[in-house]
A and B are shown apart, each in its own frame.
Chain A
Amino acid sequence: MQEEIIIAGFGGQGVLSMGKILAYSGVMQEMEVSWMPSYGPEMRGGTANVTVILSDTRIGSPVLHEFDTAIILNQQSMDKFESLVKPGGTLIYDSNGIVHHPKRTDISIFRIDATDEAARINSPKTFNMMVLGGYLKVKPVVLMKNVLKGLKKSLPERHHHLIAMNEKALIHGGEIIREISHNDLVRV
């Protein structure tokens, strides 16, 4: 099994830390992992993205130009990465701020309104964990118990009291994600 993921959005949305928690979850499941961030000028107040690879075998290139799954959290990232999902792959997006919804019909598309939901339940900081939970519902590449271990590993100890809240958000994300059928794509 090899899962190649791009997570892309604005700086400050928790894109890099979401990737880090996912990578750590892979470590806890004794998989090979790599985490390659964008660290260029774009991360200084613009778009941020991270490539995460989870694999049962040795990972070759940590830098990729096509992906099994794209998790897209803003319009710029949609413009950049929708076309880079492999045919048959998966695109997950948060609709907040999205003007041009995805159009491809050769991939599975899921929508998660995590920004709205996090605001509704007054817990904006758990937004990225909701998205991660949604992703893991669609692609259960790591077991939830290993995600929780990964969360613990990647959070500094002073933040460990937040783990329960993050766990709730992970589960909630799995509940609110929904697949967009290709017929709906035409309508939105």
Chain B
Amino acid sequence: MKEIKLMKGNEAIAEAAIRCGADGYFGYPITPQSEVMETLMALKPWETTGMVVLQAESEIASINMVYGGAGCGKKVLTSSSSPGVSLMQEGLTYLAGAELPCVVVNVVRGGPGLGTIQPAQSDYFQAVKGGGHGDYKLIVLAPASVQEMADFVDLAFDLAFKYRNPAFILTDGVIGQMMEKVELAPFKPRWTNEEIEKNHPWATMGKKQRKERNVITSVELDPYKHEDLNKKLQAKYRLIQETEVRLEMIACEDADYLLVAYGASARICEKAVEVARSKGIKVGLLRPITLFPFPTLEIKRLAAQVKGILSVEMSAGQMVEDVRLAANGVVRVEHFGRLGGIIHSPSEVVEALENFFLKA
């Protein structure tokens, strides 16, 4: 029988981590994501699957513990919220540079600075464009429901190990704090050391019979070699862009206007589509599920069909830049979003659409 539970998005992350066979979680509490570690501590997976759950002394320590675990080929994750994730940026670029798989969850709250504990989507640039230094990309998934919070942990680990790249779950206080029905996946066993050695021969598991020792590092002082390494990373990112785009389209077939939104804003826009259509305005919604890779081609295609695109995010306008690049001047692209922890209402979205595109 299917196991349907009612739980918070943050709790779903914790349950899913245990069920997908994660080896370790390292984190530091911060609202609005503290339930991730609270749930893990309550479930005590170290007594069942053997998964380690550790409250580190800081977010900087957490991400570096992730680096250590990932270097050994283990499935490790951390989670935090905006100010904490800012502290993790150095670790993230090192993980990307060393090509280490891991999962990092950001339950975004309003910034800048310590900001507010209310939901926001103002960390898009940081997650998608790279908050750390260097030419790197994270694979960024944007769940819009509690079910996706659960499903994307496993998916993120799959993608992270497939490409040897950190995977990032960019969510927000709405999805983290709300409760919805969720069907949990069955338990997968944790990988044995033999499985890790066989499937991930790069992992530092001790030299053993191999001729060469494995080295995990992001440093390469020979510029020619370092250029080659960068080219290899860029080729990997291109492959990810070509193969891993995920999105959902709602009512786009006959749409005259297109909303583009992810996460909580996508849910609000789903209702906005209903409201607009009840007023006779043919509106569709494109919801990017992956923010990197971004659904550029699909937006480009719809740009040729519609009379206007409205990018909706709880920020001053970040994703809108990628939507504009995708539309490439074919159609007008505008941004709407409340700031600082205020959640826009479906009717505000429709009103913005009307103001931008339907008023002479």
Contact = CB atoms under 8 A, between A and B. Distances in A.
Interface stretch (B68-76, B92-100, B325-333, B341-349): B341-349
B127 interface: no
Given A63-B264, A63-B345, A64-B345, A36 B271 contact: no
B117 A60 contact: no
A154 B177 CA distance: 17
A134 B343 CA distance: 31
Interface string B175-190: 0011111000000000
A65 B347 contact: yes
A57 to B, nearest CB: 11
Nearest to A63: B343
A41 B267 CA distance: 24
Contacts of A61: 267-268, 270-272, 345-346
Contacts of A14: none
A34 interface: yes
Given A41-B117, A60-B346, A65-B345, A35 B271 contact: no
B53 interface: no
A20 B268 contact: no
A41 B264 CA distance: 21
A40 B181 contact: no
Contacts of A60: 267-268, 270-271, 273-274, 346
A23 B177 CA distance: 15
Contact of A35 (B6, B117, B118): B6
Nearest to B348: A65
Q: In the complex, which range does the number of interface residues on chain A fall in?
A: 20 to 34
A35 B274 contact: no
A23 B346 CA distance: 22
B6 A154 contact: yes
B4 interface: yes
B267 A62 contact: yes
A142 interface: no
Which of A32, A62, A65: most chain B Cβ within 10 A? A62
Contact of A36 (B177, B270, B346): B177
A35 B264 contact: no
B6 A153 contact: yes
Contacts of B180: 33-35, 59, 62
A23 B274 CA distance: 23
Given A23-B6, A24-B6, A61-B271, A36 B174 contact: yes
A51 B232 CA distance: 49
A102 interface: no
Nearest to A41: B117
Interface in B170-205: 173-174, 177-181
A37 interface: yes
Interface in A30-46: 32-37, 39-41
Interface in B315-343: 341, 343
10 contacts: A27-B181, A34-B178, A35-B178, A39-B173, A40-B116, A59-B180, A60-B273, A61-B267, A63-B268, A64-B345
Given A33-B179, A61-B268, A63-B174, 20 more contacts: A32-B181, A34-B179, A34-B180, A35-B179, A36-B177, A36-B178, A37-B177, A39-B177, A40-B117, A40-B118, A40-B341, A41-B117, A60-B268, A60-B273, A60-B346, A61-B267, A61-B271, A62-B267, A64-B345, A153-B6
